Structure 1
Amino acid sequence: MQIKKTINEKTYVYDEKFFSGKKSLTINGKQLQLVGKKNFVDSETGEEYSVSGSFIKGITLNTKSEEIVLVKNKWYEWIVIILPIISIGVGLFCGAIGCMLSVLFSLLCAAINATICRSEKIRSAIVKVIIGIVTSAISTSAWFGIYWLIVQAILK
């Protein structure tokens, strides 16, 4: 997942790999050196950047002199991101298998919805909300369908 934002003629690109967790930060095309878990240093100027937040919560870069907000969730983005998490409640009543499947599919869907919300290609908030609702419905249907097949196989 990559977040790109231009502020005051500086282009910030923060990249965090989903599976490996590898992080990188570039400013105006210049790669900064990773120091620590979420801290970066500009080797030329010595300026330190600290990353706070996450892809789902929003990302902010902090320096000694300023705070640079790369991503801040809007109200509808919170709804779209949290919507698939609701199906975990249903999974709690489906035993260990249903709960595991609901958590797996719901978190995957929340990450997909966050990616959709961050997408530059889709500008309309209404379209993002509709896509979020559809992906949540597909995710819930998928885990429940798999759960149902497993239960039917066990009962036979």
Structure 2
Amino acid sequence: MSIPPVPRFDGVAAAFMGYSDDAQDMQNWVYDLLRVNIMAVSYSERALDWLVNSGIKLDFVIVDVEHLGGVHKAMNFCLAIRKALPDMKIILISDDVSGDDFGSERRPVCDGTLMKPVSQTRLLDAILICGQKQRSRAVIEYA
């Protein structure tokens, strides 16, 4: 099966997920087809500080809900990213969703959600779709 050509751009992204075969596959797919380097980064309480202060210009962030410890923690992390870096594109991946979603109702939190396991085609589609979205106009604060 051949994959149709996609627009190429050079870039860097961070994926907050455990380093595994899945993470390595994602890194290879995205680099081979889009020339984007994805860094697999373990989540910690200082992750937002690192995103804001690292000096690395990131094109997007991937957040693995299960790696962060669940939906509540992942949502709070994404909202904090939105507040600190409102133009950052965010893609969530999770076991606990019924399917991929790029709808506007999740925009305050993320630009797209992918259900695991993530395939090459779906990941590339998510990057391209989310890259074309305008920034979110509002950030909702959750208690």
Q: TM-score category by the smaller chain?
A: under 0.3
TM-score scaled to structure 2, two decimals?
Answer: 0.25
Query: Which has the larger share of strand?
Result: 1
CA radius of gyration, larger in: 1
